[in-house]
Amino acid sequence: MNWGQLITLFHSYLGQDQASPTYFSDDAVRVFMHKALRRVNGNCKLVRKRQAINITAGTSTYDLPSDCHEVFRVAYDGARIDQYSQARLNADNTTWRTATGEPYLWYVDRLDNQIGLYPEPSVSSTVTGASQEDGVPVLMGDTEDGIIIDITTDDGFPLGEDGVPVLEITANHLEVYYWGEPADFHHTTNPDVPQWAQHFLLYSALSEAFRVGLPDQDLERAAAWAVMAGDLEERMRIRSANVIPKVHRSNIGQHPKHRSIQQRFPATIGDV
């Protein structure tokens, strides 16, 4: 169900004509629903995104996406790497910034909204499509088995939605998985909530409408719709906190980079 359909349902439940609403316009309904969406995303961390980052040899820090609230997983060259902190790196070895090689730790610098890698990468990402010297940004696609989606082509090069050539990263790249902001409202797109829970936005908007007044307040109806919305929010919170993996992965024979820090982290980083 898309945004437009949810707004139409709101008018139907309220018994008003959407073309000439008596109490609340489409814009007012959208404000109600967006308020509920922002709240539930903050409480349940519904929006999970992935961003590919093109690595440059000799550069250890990279900007995080502007809508990034919290990083929960990072992979380098297709393998998960472990989280650490700058304070712990400083405590282990004050010269850790001079180390180079294949990164196996990451940290977040919230002051500059950047992600850092240890050790500093010694090789750049491998890309195809256009040359790295072009200065063309690497854009992220949403595919099941690739990093970049090929939307249209021009002269043999993949193009993004804005016509900017897209580089496909094939090796030595960084993938950042994070909790982010919901997508902007559009009548024909679906809101960033699970399909089974989309009525949460409708119930929340109805609760807000009766609380504000039609034109008088009806707090009993507002509370009733709020209870129904709250039930869906609780289910979303539980499911988000206990995600069922689609594929079972055994720890037997796993890549060395997947082992815990206790198994493979040296006593002093400088010894690496």
Per-residue pLDDT tens listing for the chain (272 residues): 899 999 999 999 988 888 888 889 999 999 999 999 999 988 888 888 888 888 899 999 999 988 888 899 999 988 999 999 999 999 998 889 999 999 999 999 878 889 999 999 999 888 765 443 444 444 444 433 333 333 333 444 444 445 555 556 778 888 999 888 888 888 888 898 888 999 999 999 999 999 987 667 889 999 999 999 999 999 998 887 776 554 545 554 455 554 444 444 444 444 43
End-to-end distance of the chain based on CA atoms, in angstroms?
53
Query: What are phi and psi for residue 160, nearest 5 degrees?
Result: -85, 180
CA–CA dist 170, 78 (Å, integer)? 10
Q: Helical H runs in 126-260?
A: 199-212, 219-241
CA–CA dist 16, 1 (Å, integer)? 20
Helix (H) or strand (E) holding 62: strand 61-63
pTM over 0.75: no
Task: Please state the domain extents for the chain.
Answer: 3-46+190-241, 48-181
CA–CA dist 155, 3 (Å, integer)? 37
**Among 114, 92, 85, 119, CA closest to 103:** 119
